[in-house]
């Protein structure tokens, strides 16, 4: 087992101070340097839009001064991270989600206004989009985790169940979102059964890099970057994840060692997807570093 030593954590800290946005600096302080939540909340508030959602490139791959579903999920995730996923900000975010929900009960992948602003080429801009499991699953998962009561959540939950139960093909990011939902939805018996099916599907389809020494055994889905392989820790970022049962102890240790070994000389971690603009790589890498360190700490490797 490769441990992330104090020296390596210091290297991450220096990388964050050198390269990160204020939000990621504040998150690092909160998570790893005993900082307070107020600084995180103040930095996050700059991304909030008038309709209660979040935008302004909180997710670096979608720019523009208006709310987006994935950006709103990121905001809720950060609120959860600092123990503040409740109250008026969350209620307003849920109201925003209600306003964009499609007839099938899900929220779309993105807002049509995105076409007028810089965005990653894989971000869909569709005039009449259907609900999307990736966005809806992530959002419903974090709201269930925090026991939020809002009219939006019931329909979104039913949408997620229908989509997950009917999955015959998928890709890693969608599976991750499904697992974010299954890890938190109240019906635990149904969630465990669905997670078991998804785990079998992921392994059968080669949607996970089990052995880092043999990347050729994993499948790169259509549209992904050539090296954009999902690893065991992507599906099971902490031991309590239902996806942890998909992998043996040996596979998990091997995967976490691989994660620790990906730390680069500057203290950060690489992004594995396509960087479509120079600035987005700079914005993403501190966030990726924070997530890597959180996962390693969750498995007691820090």
- Secondary element (H or E) of residue 194: helix 188-205
Residue (of 96, 237, 198, 201) closest to 156 by Cα position: 96
Confidence at residue 3, expressed as pLDDT on a 0 to 100 scale: 77
46-100 pLDDT, tens digit each: 999 999 999 999 999 999 999 999 999 999 999 999 999 998 999 999 999 999 9
Let me know: does 275 contact 255? Beta carbons within 8 Å: no
User: Does residue 54 sit in helix, strand or coil?
Assistant: strand
**What percent of the chain is modeled with pLDDT above 70?**
100
pLDDT score, position 128: 87
**Rounded to two decimals, what is the model's pTM?**
0.96
- Tokens in use for 203? 């392994």
Are 272 and 287 a contacting pair, CB within 8 Å? no
Which of 6, 139, 121, 118 shows the shortest CA–CA distance to 69?
A: 139
Length of the chain (residues): 302
| pLDDT of 206 higher than 90 | yes
Which residue carries 């080669």 as its tokens?
206
> For 134, which DSSP code?
H
Q: Is the pLDDT of residue 2 over 80?
A: no
| Mean of all residue pLDDT scores within the chain | 96
What are the tens digits of pLDDT across the range 208-253?
999 999 999 999 999 999 989 999 999 999 999 999 999 999 999 9
Q: How far are the Cα atoms of 99, 102, 118, 127, 232 from residue 109, in angstroms, in the given order? A: 14, 11, 16, 12, 25
48: phi then psi, degrees, rounded to nearest 5: -80, 140
Using DSSP's 3-state secondary structure scheme, residue 155 falls into helix
CB 258 within 8 A of CB 235: no
> Is pLDDT at 17 greater than 80 in this prediction?
yes
Long-range Cβ contact pairs of 237-240 (< 8 A, separation 24 or more): 237/291, 237/294, 237/295, 237/298, 238/295, 238/298, 238/299, 239/298, 239/299, 240/183
Q: Which two tokens stand for residue 147?
A: 């026991």
CA 146 from chain centre, in angstroms, equals 16
Place of tokens 């790893």: 32
- Pair 93, 47: CB distance under 8 Å: no
């Amino acid at each position: 087992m490769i441990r992330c030593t104090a020296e390596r954590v210091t290297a991450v800290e220096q990388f964050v101070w050198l390269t990160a946005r204020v939000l990621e600096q504040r998150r690092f302080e909160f998570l790893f340097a005993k900082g307070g939540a107020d600084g995180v909340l103040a930095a996050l508030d700059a991304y909030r839009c008038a309709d209660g959602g979040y935008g302004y490139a909180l997710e670096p791959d979608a720019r523009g001064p208006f709310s987006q579903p994935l950006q709103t999920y990121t905001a809720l995730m950060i609120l959860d991270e600092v123990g503040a996923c409740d109250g008026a900000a969350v209620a307003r975010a849920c109201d925003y989600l209600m306003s964009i929900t499609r007839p099938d009960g899900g929220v779309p992948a993105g807002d049509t206004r995105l076409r007028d602003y810089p965005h990653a080429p894989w971000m869909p801009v569709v005039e009449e989009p259907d609900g999307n499991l990736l966005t809806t699953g992530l959002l419903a998962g974090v709201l269930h985790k925090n026991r939020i009561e809002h009219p939006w959540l019931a329909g979104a939950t039913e949408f997620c169940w229908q989509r997950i139960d009917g999955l015959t093909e998928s890709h890693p990011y969608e599976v991750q979102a499904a697992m974010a939902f299954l890890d938190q939805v109240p019906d635990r018996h149904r969630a465990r059964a669905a997670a078991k099916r998804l785990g079998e599907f992921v392994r059968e389809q080669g949607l996970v890099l089990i052995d880092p020494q043999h990347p050729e055994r994993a499948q790169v889905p259509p549209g992904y970057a050539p090296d954009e392989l999902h690893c065991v820790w992507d599906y099971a970022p902490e031991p309590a994840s239902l996806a942890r049962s998909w992998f043996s102890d040996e596979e998990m240790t091997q995967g976490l060692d691989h994660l620790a070994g990906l730390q680069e000389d500057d203290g950060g971690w690489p992004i594995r997807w396509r960087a479509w603009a120079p600035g987005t790589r700079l914005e993403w890498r501190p966030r990726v570093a924070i997530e890597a360190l959180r996962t390693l700490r969750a498995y007691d490797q820090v």
